[in-house]
Amino acid sequence: MTRAGRNSGYALAGTMVFLVLALLIWMAVFRQTSSYLRTEKAMRTRTERQLGCTKALAWGLTLLETGKLPTNPYSCRVVVSLSPQQTYVLTFTRLLLRKRVAVRPATPSDASLPLAPANFN
């Protein structure tokens, strides 16, 4: 038997081992990359949501400085102009010596609430 006949077949086995190791490494890198991308997307979405609530709360606090509340509690809708316009519900509550402002995203059942006035009289 010749020397080439005894060693035949090892190149195919070596190639298969290399391919399996390469695919395992690719799978590990892909898993980490995809989890990183999901985390970044979730953080961006959370930041955008908080930005809308923050703008609505700022509008409510500015409105609160313009005068007395019409009723206790008073609820109204405010439209925040972000890339997609978002509507929030502001609820003003008068406590003993303080006032409280709560903000939440509007639902379809909140359509009957009035829009936020320019100021309280």
pLDDT, tens digit, for every residue of 70-121?
888 899 999 887 667 788 999 999 888 888 899 988 889 988 888 888 888 7
Q: Read off the pLDDT band of 20 (50, 70, 90).
A: very high
- Average confidence (pLDDT) over 39-52: 84
Residue 7's pLDDT band (cuts 50, 70, 90): low
Of residues 49 and 90, the one with the higher pLDDT is: 90
What is the DSSP secondary-structure string of 8-69?
TTHHHHHHHHHHHHHHHHHHHHHHHHHHHHHHHHHHHHHHHHHHHHHHHHHHHHHHHTTS--
Average pLDDT of the residues of the chain: 84
Top pLDDT among 55 and 3 is at 55
How long a stretch of residues is the chain?
Answer: 121
pLDDT for 2 equals 58
pTM above 0.85, yes or no: no
Reported confidence tier of residue 34, pLDDT bands at 50, 70, 90? confident
